[in-house]
Amino acid sequence: MPLKPKRPCSSPGCPRLTDGRFCEEHAKLEAQRYERYGRDPATKKRYGRTWERIRDRYIKAHPLCERCAKDMKITPAEEVHHIKPLSHGGTNAEDNLMSLCKSCHSLISAKSGDRWHNR
């Protein structure tokens, strides 16, 4: 299957071509801008360094997508999902976590609407 052609970086005036939205340099700057101005402070507090450690430890113990495994598919896990969201009283306890691939995590988030409500 042929690859999609590269497109110009979305940063104004940048001449670089990229596979994503921004070139590497501007992707880092955009991520920093989002962390600084776009992310809700309460969310930032809930998903700090402590969460990163919990997530890394959980994904190491559960390296495959748990949802795909139920369908007898082997897919590497890339994200850790809270079964009951922190915003709804959930915790970072292991029994409230689930390792997922990006597509399963996006699907669950879209169905529950967690990503787009109350921002």
Residue 39 lies in a domain: no
Residue 77 lies in a domain: yes
Residue 40 lies in a domain: no
Q: Considering Cα of 74, then 95, then 55, then 47, what sign does the dihedral take? A: positive
Residue 73 lies in a domain: yes
* Below-50 pLDDT ranges, the chain: 116-119
pLDDT at 88: 85
pTM for this structure? 0.60
pLDDT at 112: 74
Structural domain boundaries, residue 70: 50-112
pLDDT at 99: 96
Residue 86 lies in a domain: yes
pLDDT digits (tens, 9 = 90+) for 39-69: 666 666 677 788 899 999 999 999 999 999 9
User: Are the beta carbons of 99 and 66 closer than 8 angstroms?
Assistant: yes
Residue 35 lies in a domain: no
Residue 16 lies in a domain: no
- Number of structural domains (the chain) is 1
Q: Where are the beta strands (DSSP E) in the chain?
A: 7-8, 17-18, 79-82, 97-100
Residue 22 lies in a domain: no
